[in-house]
């Protein structure tokens, strides 16, 4: 019993009531793209207009033609039968059964409801040999097709049920033929909707997959860049640990009389430093690339001139402005600053070849300030492969700056160029 009540409630509320009153159709924007088979119209000028505007303009033109044809048909048939019809009646009947055609694209359900009521209530039996006005029947079938394309399955089912019931109420003698004529627009329209829905879902799925792939690539780039930073900073840390071990071993020989307890402390410091070096080498064995390409000495800002020379040789017009004690930076800070400038110059070469580039590096108040600002590409220059140096673009630069507790910003400039700025603390600070 409960199942029967649920079925009845579904049919009355979700099917019939939705079709008659509450249902809504999918919107059809005026600027929607032209169908593939009609894109050739752009070569004759028509295809350059908005597709929705063209559809509604054609609908209005056809509606005017159908109204005129209906009035002419009613006038001729009424005179032939000797039952003259007033001009107002002819216009009323023509509008009642054909005017919904102009609403078919913008408001398909409203157009069908108007057509359904007009066709059901208007009686032309005294003037025509058929209970249906020919142009009105065409309008009704067009509205049914549009509803099947633009409305949900439940609404389309309700429209079909009411339409079949309407033709039997209208005239039982022609109801079977009218029902047969209703099947093709309903079936074809629903098939078109299924095809459009499948395409839309496939496009949304592809978009989600592309977004997930992009997030995966960004996450992978961050992890790879962190490994690269760890490999490069290993040499810096290992150097300091080696100095600690050497100084702890040499200290007892610098002083003749040194307490035994101090000797033991220095020996323990040396042993701890050596243990730390051993652990660093183990970590390095995991992080090093197989070809050993990362074992070269790591650069700092002392090699900035070589970096700028390479950029100029690649076609960039580079000017530099340096300020402060950049030569005395801690190795980790110098390495990070060098890599950020290297990647920024590589991006400039890749995306704005031949452009004017301003490179700035300064040190003040315990902060290293970096800036690389490039203009738009030079005339006739095509994007190139960039400068050698590796990295992962903005993701890698930002990760390097964050690793030292600094900040990096990257944004386009009003003149069509790009600006990368960063600040790095000379002394490491706690990351929150």
User: How do residues 232-241 score in pLDDT, each as one tens digit?
Assistant: 666 667 666 7
Neighbouring C-beta atoms of residue 58, cutoff 10 Å: 11
More confident residue, 201 or 248: 201
Q: How sure is the predictor about 389, in pLDDT bands with cuts at 50, 70 and 90? A: very low
**Cα–Cα distance for residue pair 121/338, rounded to 1 Å:** 84
The residue-averaged pLDDT of 179-195 equals 95
Kindly report the average pLDDT of the chain as a whole number. 83
**Cα–Cα distance for residue pair 429/415, rounded to 1 Å:** 36
Task: Supply the pLDDT for residue 381.
Answer: 64
Contact present, 360 and 331 (Cβ < 8 Å): no
DSSP label at residue 408: E
Is residue 385 predicted with pLDDT exceeding 50?
A: no
The residue-averaged pLDDT of 182-196 equals 95
**Cα–Cα distance for residue pair 179/163, rounded to 1 Å:** 8
Rounded to whole angstroms, the maximal C-alpha distance in the chain is 141
Contact partners, residue 157, CB within 8 Å, separation at least 6? 15, 19
Cα angle 33-36-41, degrees, rounded to a multiple of 5: 80
Percent of the chain surpassing pLDDT 70 = 86
Task: Supply the pLDDT for residue 390.
Answer: 44
HSE (side-chain half, CA atoms, 13 Å) at 208: 6
**Cα–Cα distance for residue pair 431/418, rounded to 1 Å:** 28
Task: Supply the pLDDT for residue 284.
Answer: 61
Q: Which of 30-39, 230-239, 263-272, 382-391 has the lowest average pLDDT?
A: 382-391
Q: Which of 213-217, 292-296, 391-395 has the lowest average pLDDT?
A: 292-296
Tell me: the pLDDT tens digits for 329-381? 887 788 889 889 988 988 888 888 888 999 999 998 889 999 999 999 887 66
Contact present, 280 and 234 (Cβ < 8 Å): yes
Q: How sure is the predictor about 253, in pLDDT bands with cuts at 50, 70 and 90? A: low
Task: Supply the pLDDT for residue 290.
Answer: 45
Contact partners, residue 28, CB within 8 Å, separation at least 6? 52, 105, 106, 150
Task: Supply the pLDDT for residue 379.
Answer: 76
The residue-averaged pLDDT of 160-166 equals 95
**Cα–Cα distance for residue pair 53/46, rounded to 1 Å:** 11
Sheet holding 418-425, edge to edge: 317-323, 356-364, 367-374, 418-425, 407-412
Is residue 431 predicted with pLDDT exceeding 70?
A: no
Tell me: the pLDDT tens digits for 263-304? 777 777 877 777 777 666 656 665 554 444 444 556 788 888
- Pairing state between β 317-323 and 367-374: unpaired
Please provide the size of the chain in residues: 432
More confident residue, 417 or 314: 417
């Amino acid at each position: 019993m409960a199942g029967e009540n649920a079925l009845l409630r579904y049919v009355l509320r979700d099917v019939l009531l939705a079709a008659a009153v509450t249902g809504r159709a999918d919107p059809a924007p005026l600027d929607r793209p032209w169908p593939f088979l009609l894109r050739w119209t752009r070569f004759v000028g028509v295809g350059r207009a908005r597709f929705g505007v063209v559809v509604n303009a054609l609908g209005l033109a056809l509606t005017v033609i159908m109204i005129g044809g209906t009035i002419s048909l009613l006038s001729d048939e009424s005179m032939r039968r000797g039952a003259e019809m007033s001009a107002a009646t002819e216009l009323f009947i023509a509008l009642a059964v054909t005017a919904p055609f102009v609403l078919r694209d913008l408001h398909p359900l409203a157009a069908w409801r108007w057509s359904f009521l007009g066709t059901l209530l208007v009686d032309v039996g005294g003037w025509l040999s058929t209970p249906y006005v020919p142009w009105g029947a065409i309008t009704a079938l067009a509205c049914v097709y549009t509803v099947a394309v633009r409305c949900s399955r439940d609404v389309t089912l309700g429209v079909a049920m009411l339409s079949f019931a309407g033709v039997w109420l209208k005239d039982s003698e022609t109801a079977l033929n009218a029902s047969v004529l209703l099947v093709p627009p309903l079936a074809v329209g629903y098939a078109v909707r299924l095809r459009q829905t499948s395409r839309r879902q496939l496009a949304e799925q592809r978009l989600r997959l592309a977004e997930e792939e992009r997030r995966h690539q960004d996450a992978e780039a961050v992890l790879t860049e962190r490994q690269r930073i760890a490999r490069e900073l290993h040499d810096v840390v290992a150097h300091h640990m080696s100095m600690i071990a050497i100084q702890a071993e040499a200290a007892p020989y610098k002083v003749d009389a040194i307490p035994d307890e101090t000797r033991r402390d220095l020996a323990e410091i040396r042993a701890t430093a050596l243990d730390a070096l051993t652990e660093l080498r183990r970590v390095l064995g995991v992080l090093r690339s197989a070809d050993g390409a990362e074992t070269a000495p790591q650069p700092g800002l002392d090699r900035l001139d070589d970096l700028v020379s390479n950029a100029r040789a690649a076609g960039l017009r580079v000017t530099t402005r340096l300020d402060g004690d950049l030569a005395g930076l801690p190795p980790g800070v110098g390495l990070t600053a060098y890599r950020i400038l290297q990647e920024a110059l590589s991006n400039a070469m890749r995306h704005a070849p031949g452009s004017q580039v301003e490179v700035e590096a300064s040190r003040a108040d315990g902060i290293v300030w970096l800036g690389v600002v490039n203009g738009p590409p030079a005339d006739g220059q095509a994007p190139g492969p960039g400068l050698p140096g590796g990295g992962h673009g903005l993701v890698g630069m930002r990760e390097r700056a964050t690793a030292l507790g600094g900040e990096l910003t990257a944004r386009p400039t009003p003149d069509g160029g790009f600006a990368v700025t960063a600040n790095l603390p000379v002394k490491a600070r706690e990351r929150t």
